[in-house]
Structure 1
Amino acid sequence: MHSSGEYTRERLGFLSAINVAQPLVNGCRTGRRVCYSRSRWNLATTKRAAKVMIESQSSLPVDVPHCEALTRRWVRDFVLALQLCPYARAPFLANQVRIAVDGATSIQQVERALEREAQVLQHAPEEALATTLLVLPNFHPRDFERFYASTLLLERRWEARGLSDSFVLVFFHPMHMYAKHGAPANGCIPVDQLDYERRAPLPTINLLRDDQVDAAVASGKSTEMLEHNAAHLSTIPLEALEIRFRCLYKTDA
């Protein structure tokens, strides 16, 4: 359960799920790829977003093999097993998905890691490297509100530097929650099945090539995937999804 003060992204995509441009609807500013819920964006969030800009500049050590294995289990046993992203299977099985682990704790460190991985993608042929999952185990793993505020700043700075013309960023978090309209009177927003569409065992940023994004939008497959995920996940009991997700953390998997 999360308090209604958290500022979650509207449900619009997953991994390679990219969104067609839409007008302003119900207070949400939608773009070609992302939509933010503005209903819970207030002064407190703005202050918190500003705070993440001056975090510690010291990265923390990480267990790279463990993080890589955990991320691979997530793609294999969750994303592919639940058929949440039809674009992921072929490159994953062909070993064309790069998993990069970084100990970043601040936005500045994450930006440097993103720039590094963007250069790797840019200089690699698509048939050898389709996409990258940047895994950030130390970047607010237990604080989705702070992670979400950080993603807003990261995206704005990414776009301001013109990098969004080449690569699109998609964010995942262990405690991800989509914005839900009509929060209950007790101020708590319940988790539902669709939240697991953007949950990963560790904070993760997926770097997608822009031409892949354009192709998905033009074909209409991204919309089909969104509809499929919403319908498919709703048929799975929430407890079953929770158990499947927790099982990803088992080291003997």
Structure 2
Amino acid sequence: MLLPSTTNEPASSAEVIAWTQRWLERAVIGLNLCPFAKSVHVKGQIHYRVSAARDSQALLQDLEYELNSLQALDASARDTTLLIAPDMLQDFLDFNDFLHDADRVLLSQGLEGVLQIASFHPQFQFGGTAEDDITNYTNRAPYPTLHLLREDSIDRAVEAFPHAEQIFEKNMQTLEALGHAGWDALGLQSPASGLHGKIVP
């Protein structure tokens, strides 16, 4: 249950992770938006890193560190990383511009073809859609988030999942059937969405 807060204090790292895990469990896994997510979640192979960065350079440094840390570990210990930036890039256009710099870091570390970066944002918007188009919510997370993935893990998941190329279309249909009321019922309106609150049992 979400209780509104009377303060505008920034969320703690624990709160940011709690909101992100709530989104993962209720939306990504609960709506089966990513059929590969449940396994790594259950096995505890997702690493959550909350960045304290308040400028792009600091976030790029955190990204470089997390990319190399993910590469250095065995997939059985850490298969994927969610790098969450609660204190910056609240405007989606700024976030979208930042992704070009993020890709340059991936290239500079020689990790192209080894790792890749996916993106999620509270105001995510696909090109050619209206801001309130429900299909945008497939990529709407509580906070600006960079998802660091292993190419090998993606390849194995795709091989194990028939018709993986149909996931995007299926997700669009799922969100259209759910509608805005159904999404709101998931209780994912985090502080980054404009509602300062906390999760309670």
Gap runs ≥5 in structure 2:
1-9, 192-197
TM-score for both structures, normalised by structure 1 = 0.66
Deviation at 1:128, TM superposition (A): 1.7
Matched positions, count: 185
CA change 1:156–1:121 in 2 (3 A) is closer
Pick aligned residue for 1:176 from 92, 103, 124:
124
Return the match for 1:136 from 77, 82, 85: 85
Give yes or no for the alignment of 1:194 onto 2:135: yes
Does residue 81 of structure 1 match 2:22?
Answer: no
Letter matched to residue 236 of structure 1 = L
Deviation string 1:221-243 (CA, Å, 9 cap, x unpaired) is 54122122122212112232134
Q: Under a length normalisation based on structure 2, what TM-score does the superposition of the two structures give? A: 0.82
Q: 1:240 aligns with which of 182, 195, 200?
A: 182
Once the two structures are superposed, residues 152-203 of structure 1 have per-residue CA deviations (whole angstroms, 9 ceiling, x without a partner) of 232234235432222100011111111116xxxxxxx341121011000011
Deviations 1:43-80 (A, max 9, x none): xxxxxxxxxxxxxxxxxx86111111111111111111
Q: Which residue of 2 aligns with 1:209?
A: 150
- CA distance in 2 between counterparts of 1:163 and 1:104 reads 23
1:110 alignment partner in structure 2: 59
- Structure 1 117/62 Cα, relative in aligned 2: closer, same or farther at 3 Å? farther
SS in 2 for 1:71: helix
For residue 123 of structure 1, report the CA deviation from its aligned partner: 2.2
Report the structure, 1 or 2, having the larger helix content: 2
Cα deviation, residue 135, structure 1: 0.8
The 1:215/1:126 distance shift into structure 2, 3 A limit, reads same
Task: Return the structure number with greater relative CO, CA threshold 8 A, min gap 6.
Answer: 2
Q: Deviations over 1:5-53 (max 9, x none)?
A: xxxxxxxxxxxxxxxxxxxxxxxxxxxxxxxxxxxxxxxxxxxxxxxxx
**Counterparts in 2 of 1:19-168, with a 5 A limit?**
63-141=12-90, 143-168=91-116
CA RMSD after TM alignment? 2.2
SS at match of 1:163: coil
CA spacing shift, 1:190–1:140, aligned 2, 3 Å: closer
Q: 1:233 to 1:95 in 2, by over 3 A?
A: same
Structure 2 residue matching 1:105: 3-state secondary structure: coil
Partner of 2:172: 230
CA distance in 2, matches of 1:221, 1:127: 26
Identity of aligned residues (%): 29
1:92 aligned partner, one-letter code: H
Separation of aligned partners in 2, 1:196 and 1:62: 22
The Cα of 1:93 is off from its aligned counterpart by 1.1
